[in-house]
Each structure stands twice: as structure tokens, then as C-alpha cells.
Structure 1
Amino acid sequence: MTLTETPSVVLAHLSDVHLPPPASLPSWRHFTNKRALSVASWKRHRVHHHLPALSDAVRDDMHAARPDLILNTGDLTNFGLREEFSNAASWLGTMAAPCLVVPGNHDAMVREPWHDTAAKWADWTEKTAEGAFPYQREEGDLAIIGVNSAIPTPPFMACGRVGAAQRARLAEILDTTRDKCRVVMIHHPPRAGLVPWRKSLLDLKAVAAIIAQHGAALVLHGHSHDATLSTIPGTSIPLIGVPSASLQSSRPWRHSGWNRIAIARQSAGWEIDLTTRQFTQAEGWRCSRHRNWLIRDGQG
């Protein structure tokens, strides 16, 4: 998968699948504090809006597009249960192309042993240990960098944090991959205003400053459930959001969907072609946006 040898590399970006929890949930002793509130919310509201049929439709549509790489920016689970991580690993195993994942806030709802939870996704996180993010994967002229912003938070909060150690490693990776097309994956968007404060990235200014200083071609995020397109503050680096893959919503920009991103090497830099596809059971598929731009060498 080398950009200089093919017209383009196609990435499929999805997020916030929120796969159904086990049919028989564990005993209520597992659901104290925040989990109990989340279970109540699931039973009252979310189970009626996050539909397996929609995430299956997104997966099938992605597969039909024959992407070279699938990038998942977190929240495969609802409560961060051990059983949910196993179920999500099975679902990831159905992907028709190599897949990379970063955790989301629902995947870190409460503190649990790493080996019982996200370690089950080792095949899709470059076998990265709990304290060793970001990971990187290089495919020809492409460098994918997976940042972990997921942390346990108090009830009614869904904030994230990258932390100083991970930010330092991110800067190093961005520097050592300057000759490649660098794509950063993170669950929480590193820009204010895309989600409410209680769901924000607590160190977003510091993370955005690292990316602005060391450069990237684009940054992909989840969490907002919105098909947004903005930039890293102070730069022209695209910051791309994606709808939840399983959400049935009355608001068109939040309909379930995924991003198709084609990247091609040009003489002056990297050509990025973005198409967002969204699906409703009533109307089927539609292309909700299409953007194309050039990231010049030295710009990102």
C-alpha cells in the first residue's frame, strides 16, 4: 500500500458503534455509581437509538468500498464491561480490511484491569500496552498514529485526557514521520466547541499545540456523533468528525454513517478526498458531503 505506486489509498473512518451489551447483563453489583446511571440511560433511551442494523449497514457499505485500512475512533462498548470488549473483538474480526482502533470514553467508563478490557483489542492497537500510547503504523507513505484520550470520569462526565507523557511521545512520532502522510486518530476532538465541556478533552489546548507545532495531514475523531469538519486551532490541518455508526437520529448530520478518505501523493504534497456517507432505514444511503484539498509539503 504505497502512495507512489497507486492512485490513492482509501481509508474508512467510523466511530461510536456502541455494540449491543450482552443479552444477559451481569449482576447489579457490577453496576455501581456511573455504570448504574449509564445502564438506566441505555434502557430508557439509547437502546432505542443505537441500532445493530445500522452499524451492520455501515460495515457492509464500507466493505463494498474496498478500503485499504479501516480506522475506528472508539466507543465500541456501552459500559466498558469485560464481556463487551470480547464481543467487540469478535466484531472487529469481521472487518474485511486491516483495522486500527483507539479507545473511547465508554470503553473506559470505570477503572478496570487492562488485560481484561482493551488488551483484548491488541490485534487492532498494534499490541500497545496501557501506558505506551500513541501507537504508530506505517503503510508505505502513510503513518497512522493512534492516541488514547479515554479516562475514567465521575458520573455525568465524559471528558478525556491525553496527558503529558503521551503528548511528548506524540511529538516524537510526528517528528520522525515528517516524510509521510501523517493521520492522527483520537476519540475526543482537540478543539473547543465541538462537544459540551463535560465531554471535552481536558488538555485539548496542549494536544492541539503539539499537532500544530509538529504537523499532520489530518486528524480524525469520534465522540461528537456529528459529521463535522473543522481545523486544528491556528492551522489549516483538517479535523474530521464522523457520525455514530449505529445512531438513528432525527437530525440529518447525525444519521449513522462513515467517512471515506482517499489520499494520493502529488508533486506538491498530499491530496485528500473526503466523502461522508450516511444511512437511514427509511431513505437508505446518501452522500452528505464531499471535500477535496491539498496538504502541501511542510504545511501538515
Structure 2
Amino acid sequence: MFTLAHISDVHLGPLPDISFGELLSKRITGYVNWQRNRRKHLFGNTLELLVEDLYARVPDHLAITGDLVNLAASIEIDAAAAWLRSLGKPHDISVVPGNHDAYVPNAIDEAVFKWNSWMSGDEMGEGDRRFPFLRIRGKIALIGLSTATATPPFMASGYFGSNQARRFANILKQTGDAGLFRVVMIHHPPIRGATANYKRMMGIRRFGAAVHIGGAELVLHGHTHLNTVNWLRGPTDAPIPVVGIASASQGQGGRKPPAAYNLFHIDGEKGSWSIKRERYQLTGDGSAFLLDETSALINPAFA
């Protein structure tokens, strides 16, 4: 059995001192939003409690689906790299970027460069940072995609382009033919209607076509700060679970659900996979994480 942990939307805080020059951009809107809203709920020791509780359950791998930072300033990107190092070996942690990691033009290049050890494939060299990346851990294929792109103020959309889609389809076929359990990591939910238009993923049809033809066993995303399970059509219309998770830093009292993480216990082999999901959520008093929900995500076509 392989146990995969999933967290998202870390939004490391508190917000560090940002120079006046750095604020002369879209960052000014994010800075105001942080001061008025996010800092009230994305602060404190919630993230530290989550990480401690998660690692006490000894997962085999940790998937992080984006938004490690808030405004993508260099000081934040460096802090996120230090935080990732504190979690453990890059071999055991896979990361994809989110829209906040690409908050302004060129920020995503710096983030991908400094976080390369956690978001590069097994066979990629130091200079090859294309998406998608592929990591194989036992029977598990971790496929990392990027929808991170700089957007105008008051926009938080993502983009999944045709070049990435073609490479993604090839990887799905390659890993499917090898009999691997394919976990797709992406920040924006590849589900129509999952978010408002200004936050949606452009390229949903491309993504859907790739998994409909090539298949996948599990899709993980963030962005919405919600605990959700949706389904996409795979080959022969077999449903593929698409699972979102609350922000890893969200305290109690906000408009979004409190911090949570998922554990997926994956067993079996091609044609007879089983997935047991456990969701652990921050308690009402904000002092601990307890099991909140358990479900079996079993593809009916394989049952």
C-alpha cells in the first residue's frame, strides 16, 4: 500500500516587508487584500499544526498543489524554498505552482528555478524545467502540471496550453501502458463551474480530452480553498475522481472551511486499484486535526 498526502494553498505568512517598488504592480491589490482579509485567517500556527499531524501519520509522499506564497516577491519565494527544505527530502515531496506563485510577470520563472528540486521529473536535468513533469514512486506515477501564469489585477485565472496538453497525453499513455497508478497534480480545478470566471482555468477542454483518451486514476487540485470531490470521464467513460482540499493555512472563522489535508491509501494493480481517502480537518478550537471524513474512491468500472 502507498499512502499519499495532499495539501494546497499554503500561502506562507505572515507577509514579509515588501519594498515600495515591488508594490508598484498588481501586488498592491494583493497586499491590500492580505491586510484586510487574509491575514486574519491565514496566520497563526495552523500550518505548523497541520504539518506536525500529517507527518505523524507517516505518508510515503506529499503532494502540494500550488500557492505557496502570496505576492511572489523574491523574499517570499526564498522563504518557501526554506520551508520546503524543512519538510524533508525533495524525493518525497512533489510541488506544482499556483496563480499566487506567478503573481506578476517573471515571478514564476524565479519560483520554478528556486523550487526546482520539488517540481522536476526523475529524468529531468537541472536546466529542464518544463511541465508536465513525471515522478515514479513504486507503482505510483506523479504527473505535475502548471496552470500558473501572471494575470491582470483582480484576475486569478490559470492557463493550460496545447503544448503542455500534448506532452501530458503522451505521459498518460506511457504510464498507463506501464500499469502505473497515475496521480495528476494541478492547481486550478479542471472542472467547469468550479470557480467564478475570473478564477477559472482556461484549457479545461484540453485537459478533459487528454484524460478521456489516456485515463488517470486520481486528479488533485487546490485554488478553491474547498474540500470537494468531482469526477471526469476517462476511457470508456469510466469516472476519474478530482479532489480539492481547503487551504493548509486557513484558521477558524473565515468564509472558507478550516485547514485540512487528505491521505489517500492506494493499493492494488492495473484493473483493480482501490483508493481510500481520509480527510483530517482543524478542530473548532483550532488546537488539533481530527479525522473528518472517510470515503472509498473506487472507479466503478474496476469494481
| 2:227 aligned partner, one-letter code | A
Report the Cα distance in structure 2 between the residues aligned to 1:68 and 1:157, rounded to whole angstroms: 36
1:99 positional shift: 0.5
1:288 positional shift: 2.2
SS at match of 2:51: helix
Contact 2:252 2:284 in 1 (8 A): no
Alignment partner of 1:262 is 2:260: no
**Change in CA separation of 1:197 and 1:33 when aligned onto 2, cut-off 3 Å:** same
Contact 2:184 2:219 in 1 (8 A): yes
Contact 1:100 1:124 in 2 (8 A): yes
User: Which whole-Å deviations, capped at 9, do the CAs of 1:194-235 have from their partners, x for residues lacking one?
Assistant: 211111101112211211211000100000100101112565
Contact 1:85 1:118 in 2 (8 A): no
Report the Cα distance in structure 2 between the residues aligned to 1:175 and 1:267, rounded to whole angstroms: 13
User: Which whole-Å deviations, capped at 9, do the CAs of 1:69-122 have from their partners, x for residues lacking one?
Assistant: 000000000001111111001111121461010000000011126553321001
User: Which whole-Å deviations, capped at 9, do the CAs of 1:251-285 have from their partners, x for residues lacking one?
Assistant: 79711010011100158421101011111461532
Contact 1:16 1:73 in 2 (8 A): yes
1:295 positional shift: 3.6
Query: 2:114 corresponds to which residue?
Result: 120
SS at match of 1:269: coil
1:294 positional shift: 2.8
Query: 1:45 corresponds to which residue?
Result: 37
**Change in CA separation of 1:44 and 1:117 when aligned onto 2, cut-off 3 Å:** same
| 2:244 aligned partner, one-letter code | G
**Change in CA separation of 1:253 and 1:32 when aligned onto 2, cut-off 3 Å:** closer
Contact 1:81 1:117 in 2 (8 A): no
Query: 1:228 corresponds to which residue?
Result: 228
Alignment partner of 1:13 is 2:3: no
Contact 1:21 1:77 in 2 (8 A): no
SS at match of 2:183: strand
Contact 1:256 1:280 in 2 (8 A): no
Report the Cα distance in structure 2 between the residues aligned to 1:13 and 1:155, rounded to whole angstroms: 29
67, 70, 93: which one aligns with 2:62 = 70
1:52 positional shift: 4.2
Alignment partner of 1:271 is 2:269: no
| 1:157 aligned partner, one-letter code | M
User: Which whole-Å deviations, capped at 9, do the CAs of 1:42-66 have from their partners, x for residues lacking one?
Assistant: 1111111102411111111111010
Query: 2:205 corresponds to which residue?
Result: 205
Aligned residue-pair number: 290
| 2:69 aligned partner, one-letter code | T
Which is further off, 43-52 or 214-223?
43-52
SS at match of 1:243: coil
| 2:111 aligned partner, one-letter code | T
User: Which whole-Å deviations, capped at 9, do the CAs of 1:12-45 have from their partners, x for residues lacking one?
Assistant: 10000100155322x2111123111100111111
Which is further off, 81-90 or 108-117?
108-117
Query: 2:155 corresponds to which residue?
Result: 157
Q: Which runs of 5+ in 1 are unaligned?
A: 1-7
Query: 2:244 corresponds to which residue?
Result: 241
Contact 1:257 1:276 in 2 (8 A): yes
**Change in CA separation of 1:291 and 1:143 when aligned onto 2, cut-off 3 Å:** same
TM-score (norm 2): 0.89
1:187 positional shift: 0.1
Query: 2:103 corresponds to which residue?
Result: 109
Report the Cα distance in structure 1 between the residues aligned to 2:45 and 2:285, rounded to whole angstroms: 12
**Change in CA separation of 1:52 and 1:101 when aligned onto 2, cut-off 3 Å:** farther
Alignment partner of 1:294 is 2:294: no
Contact 1:243 1:257 in 2 (8 A): yes
Query: 1:188 corresponds to which residue?
Result: 188
Report the Cα distance in structure 1 between the residues aligned to 2:69 and 2:117, rounded to whole angstroms: 17
Which is further off, 278-287 or 62-71?
278-287
SS at match of 1:137: strand
Q: Which runs of 5+ in 2 are unaligned?
A: none
Report the Cα distance in structure 1 between the residues aligned to 2:65 and 2:260, rounded to whole angstroms: 13
**Change in CA separation of 1:219 and 1:267 when aligned onto 2, cut-off 3 Å:** closer
Give the alignment of 1:52-63 within 5 angstroms: 52-63=44-55
